[in-house]
Amino acid sequence: MALVVLGVSHRTAPIEVRERFVFSRADALVALSLLRAAGAAREGVLLSTCNRTELYLCLAPGRDGLALAERIFEDRAGPLPRVAGEYVYRREEDEAVRQLFRVASGLDSMVLGEAEIQGQVREAYESAAAAPVEPPFAGPVLSRLFQAALAVGGRVRNETELGRGAASVPSVAVELARKIFGALRGRGVLVLGAGDMAALAVQALAREGVRGVVVANRSPERARALAGRLGGRAIRFDDLTVALGDADIVVSSTAAPHPVLTVDKVRRAFPQGPARPLFVIDIAVPRDVEAEVGAERNVFLYNIDDLQQIVDDNIGRRREAIPAAEGIVAEGAEEFWSWYSSLEVVPVIRSLRERAERIRREELERMLGRLGHLDPEDRAAVEDLTRRLLNKLLHAPTVQLREGAANGRGAALVDAARRLFDLDSDGS
Task: Compute mean pLDDT per 10 residues along the chain, 428 residues long, and list them.
Answer: 86 85 89 88 90 90 77 81 78 92 93 88 93 88 94 95 85 91 93 83 87 88 86 89 93 90 94 92 91 95 92 91 96 88 76 85 87 86 89 86 70 78 66
From-to residues of CATH 3.40.50.720 in the chain: 169-313
Sign of the CA dihedral running 401, 402, 405, 409: negative
* Distance of alpha carbon 62 from the chain centroid: 30
Structure confidence by residue, pLDDT tens digits, 128-156: 998 888 888 998 999 999 999 999 999 99
pLDDT score for 408: 60
CB 45 within 8 A of CB 122: no
Structure confidence by residue, pLDDT tens digits, 254-311: 888 899 999 999 999 999 889 999 999 999 888 999 999 999 999 999 999 999 899 8
CATH code given to domain 3-164: 3.30.460.30
From-to residues of CATH 3.30.460.30 in the chain: 3-164
- Partners of 281 in the β-ladder: 251, 302
Burial class (CB in 10 A: 0-12, 13-18, 19+), 427: exposed
Q: Which residues contact 280 (CB under 8 A, 6 or more apart)?
A: 249, 250, 252, 261, 289, 293, 294, 299, 300, 301, 302
SS3 of residue 47 by DSSP: strand
CATH code given to domain 169-313: 3.40.50.720
Sign of the CA dihedral running 278, 283, 289, 291: positive
How far apart are the C-alpha atoms of 119 and 341, rounded to whole Å? 28
The DSSP line for 404-428 is HHHHT-HHHHHHHHHHHTTTTSTT-
pTM of the model: 0.69
pLDDT score for 426: 53
pLDDT score for 396: 87
CB 145 within 8 A of CB 94: no
Any idea what DSSP says for residue 291? G
Q: Which residues are catalytic?
A: 50
